[in-house]
Amino acid sequence: MDDFIARIEKIYPPEQVETLKQVYAFAQDAHKDQRRASGEPYIVHPLSVANILLDLGMDVDAISAGLLHDVIEDTQYEYEDIAQRFGNTVAMLVEGVSKLDKLNFHSRQVMQAENLRKMLLAMSKDIRIILIKLADRLHNMRTLGFKREEKQQQTANETLEIYAPLAGRLGIFRIKWELEDLCLFYLDHDAYEEISQKVAMKRQEREESVSRVIAEVEARVKQLGIHAEINGRPKHFYSIYKKMKNQNKPFDQIFDLTAIRVIVDTIQDCYTVLGTVHTLYKPIPGRFKDYIATPKPNMYQSLHSTLIDSHGVPFEIQIRTFEMHRAAEYGIAAHWKYKEGRSDSNDLDEKLAWLRRLLDWQKDMADASEFIDTFKIDLFNDEVFCFTPKGDVINLPKEATPLDFAYYIHSAVGNRCTGARVNGRIVPLDYAIKTGDVVEIITSASSHGPSRDWLKIAKTSQARSKIRQWFKKEFKDENIVHGRDMLDKEAKRLGYTLGQLERKEAVEAALQKFSLNSLEDMYAAVGFGGLTTNQVLTRLIAEYKQAHKEERIAAQVAAAEKEGQQSSQSGGAKQPQAERLKDSHGVIVKGEADMLVRFAQCCNPVPGDDIVGYITRGRGVSIHRTDCTNVASFYGEPERLVEVSWADSPKVSGYHAEVQIISADRPRLLADVTNAISDMKMQIVAINAHMSKNQTTMINITVEITDTEQLEKMLKQLRKIPEVLEAFRTSA
């Protein structure tokens, strides 16, 4: 804490320092009863995140949000609490960083896609959100060793696939490189150790070679009267690892382990220095890249060249201006670091144009799998630089095709494309464009437009989106017919007819889900590829099953009532048909009087649950949750099912609910769980715990509660306990 205070006092004015002290005190109090997997107080994590943001030179609002980024998710405080104390901007940043609420996604892939979508939307509102998220992920990776191996692999994979490339896409290479090295440590530890040891063994030899080259370049640059900073930077381990994999070479055959960096004042100086080093050393053909004339999509600018020194040792040299160097080190964060917190909005908008394009294109993507795939292709793959016949430079993702090139130029060029020439030679439309290719698109005014197969050929979401738009506009009638046929065929394969599934309520629910206006629009969306048959039928079948279940229960209750009426007319005492409140149980039994009511122990219903009654032999009415597995067996005796409901009576405790907690094993876990329940003034009836095969702890607890609302509050608190993976009510 003292180091943090000392740092901010050197950077910010006194009033902002005081604000950050107040934020820290609030965060420390909010997390006071929590600990990390390492055993450290939880506040160590948000403080570390804030320090990483300080390294990036972020503003006070971002630093505050870094200190508070887990408060909404992991403590009792809400958005309004933060907004009231520290302002709406800080609260918005904290909320943006918070993870998705625990929703019932169909798969991990769907959950990942929804997280990506939320992250992109948050970034479009304020780029600081993703910078805080990157700082959060970096510290979590630094401390990943305290997690179990399965969690380490899962987190490292996600980081390598999403967060490290995203840091690169934003130009924050210092975070990208550290994340990649940490991921390698956990995903291929043997390779990490091999590279680490061999790099250390060659360090003296490498440093001598680098020092020699630096001295030679410094002397020549000084003769030219150019002000320059020259230093050597060792390649990070993951970069060496990728070269070994891509080139299929052992470590001993990877030579350029160090990059020499020359930083100068002007662009003219960059090219002057380049010419000088090319006269001093032999350049390797094909290894020169001019990112000043053609910046990377993340606006990275530099001259790169690989050369061979006088001793025959290859090395890479990077030449850039001081401004380019700041952008390369801090990326998008440089807007705050070097402009005293006031970013140039026009420049920032230009640099984030790719993000807004992606947000537009993702709306047309059919499912989670496609979204994740195109997200990675568009943002994270290496680029290829190709040329138009006029010499204009176009950069596309690696493995992009002539179709991607055509739609990059203009949608009209793509729609009228009939073929392509690369370097003067006719190539198929699925040809993978390479750096240096001259690409010419062959068009025809009489072209009939895109083929549906193009959706499988195009790699970028821009091209796919424009192809879908064409089908949507040009062939709506055909799309309607084609989409309905596709749905009908798939429904029959699943054992349904489309007529069965297209009930009014089901269709309305599906249209609302997919933001469509009519059934024909839904057919058309399936026809042109905007929706998949699986998406639509999953929704319709779920609605069908729910409606069918409700109809069966209604029919069974009606049959029971009819039998009761017939029984009373045949001589039995007439029973009142009005709803009747049953004693202290708080349950209304329709159509029955003076019957014993008891709650089934198989599912333990509580106020707030959907319930159904079952007339037992000699034991009154047994109350079950409608989702109880035993209810299905009652359908064979529909006359014994009876409608029941909860009475609007005062809340009383005494209802039992069983919950299960899944957690990574750690000391004091059981104590933290019982304390959390006790703090809510709730009574524990029974508890047991055991270790599963995958080394997770399973805790089963029965508690006394008043209703489902109290149960949900308890589950929320349990999920906030460190190392708890999930807490849920056990199904019947």
Cross-strand bridge partners of residue 306: 316
DSSP output for 247-299: TT--GGG----EEEEEEESSHHHHHHHHHHHHHHSEEEEEEEEETTTS--TT-
Whole-number Å distance between alpha carbons of 90 and 20 = 12
CB 333 within 8 A of CB 131: yes
| Closest alpha carbon to 35 in 26, 25, 45 | 45
74, 269, 404, 723: the catalytic one is 74
Backbone angles phi, psi at 472, to 5 degrees: -65, -40
**549-586 burial code (b ≥16 CB/10 A, e <16):** eeeebeebbeebbeebeeeeeeeeeebeeeebebeebb
User: Alpha-carbon torsion 549, 552, 556, 561, what sign?
Assistant: positive
The β-bridge partners of 262 are: 230, 319
Whether 73 is catalytic is yes
Given 73, 194, 218, 383, the catalytic residue:
73
Residue among 365, 586, 533 nearest 463 (CA)? 365
CA-to-CA distance for 479 and 527, rounded, in angstroms? 4
Starting from the edge strand earliest in sequence, which strands make up the sheet with 696-705, in order?
683-691, 696-705, 655-664, 724-729
The 3 state secondary structure assigned to 314-332 is EEEEEEEEHHHHHHHHHHH
C-alpha count within 13 angstroms, C-beta hemisphere, residue 702: 11
Assess whether 33 carries a catalytic annotation.
no
What are 688's strand-pairing partners?
700
CA 569 vs CA 336, 481, 562, 575, 580: distances in Å = 84, 57, 11, 10, 21
CA atoms within 13 A on the CB side of 663: 23
Environment class of residue 289 by beta-carbon count within 10 Å: exposed (0-12), middle (13-18) or buried (19+)?
middle
The catalytic residue positions are: 73-74
